[in-house]
């Protein structure tokens, strides 16, 4: 039997069945565990009154979803970006207008986790075909959304530039007033000389997040 993670509730279930008088071989067969593991859990439970070893909990450590940090992230570039933002901000963040895109299809809202009895699959019926893809771009400030646009498919350079020109710039003010600094990531459709000229002509500033910022 290969090594695999066994949840605490399954360990407790195995011990409870054993306590109720179930045959050891039946427990091992039904729960797909080894006799050695069952003996180990019994010893741990007898000592600590829990099926999990308390050392990690006593140290204040809890299991978390890992936050992945890009190895390519440049610390020096991040510091320079923060310095630029600090120099252009009065401290409240009202100067900034953040723009970003997202997309969805029939798979976007699909559930990935569910519950079922031990030894049974957790099944559900859902769309297998991705279907149409919709993309949305939105501009947001500390006060909330100021503009948004949805298209079928994906945004390209022209459509993104039109969104900034026709909708976002109209909601902005000349620097250094509120909503005067446009911030966006380094997506290739954002790097457009025409877009830079439009933002500058309106008296606004344009700031790009450094690569691998998150």
Regarding pTM above 0.85, the answer is: no
Read off φ and ψ for residue 174, nearest 5 degrees: -60, 145
**What confidence tens digit (pLDDT) does each residue in 87-116 have?**
888 878 899 999 999 999 998 888 777 888
Q: Sheet containing 96-104: give its strands across.
A: 144-152, 134-141, 96-104, 181-184, 205-208
| pLDDT band at 152; cut points 50, 70, 90 | very high
Helix 35-48 to helix 8-19 angle (10° resolution) is 90
Q: What integer pLDDT is reported at residue 96 of this predicted model? A: 95
pLDDT tops 70 at residue 180: yes
Place of tokens 């149409």: 132
Answer yes or no: are the C-beta atoms of 182 and 164 closer than 8 Å: yes
Q: What integer pLDDT is reported at residue 55 of this predicted model? A: 66
């Amino acid at each position: 039997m290969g090594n695999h993670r066994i949840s605490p509730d399954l360990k407790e279930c195995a011990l409870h069945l054993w306590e109720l008088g179930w045959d050891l071989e039946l427990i091992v067969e039904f729960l797909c565990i080894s006799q050695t593991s069952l003996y180990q859990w019994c010893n741990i439970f007898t000592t600590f009154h829990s099926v999990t070893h308390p050392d990690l909990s006593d140290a204040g450590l809890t299991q978390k979803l890992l936050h992945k940090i890009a190895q390519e992230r440049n610390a020096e570039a991040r510091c320079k970006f923060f310095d630029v933002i600090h120099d252009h901000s009065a401290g409240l963040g009202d100067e900034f207008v953040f723009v970003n895109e997202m997309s969805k299809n029939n798979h976007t809202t699909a559930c990935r986790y569910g519950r079922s009895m031990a030894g049974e699959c957790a099944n559900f019926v859902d769309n297998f075909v991705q279907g149409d893809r919709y993309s949305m771009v939105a501009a947001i400030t500390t006060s909330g959304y100021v503009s948004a646009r949805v298209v079928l498919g994906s945004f390209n350079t022209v459509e993104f530039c039109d969104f900034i020109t026709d909708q976002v710039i109209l909601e902005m003010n000349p620097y250094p007033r509120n909503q005067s600094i446009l911030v966006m990531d380094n997506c290739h459709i954002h790097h457009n000389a025409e877009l830079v000229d439009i933002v500058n002509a309106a008296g606004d500033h344009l700031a790009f997040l450094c690569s691998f910022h998150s």
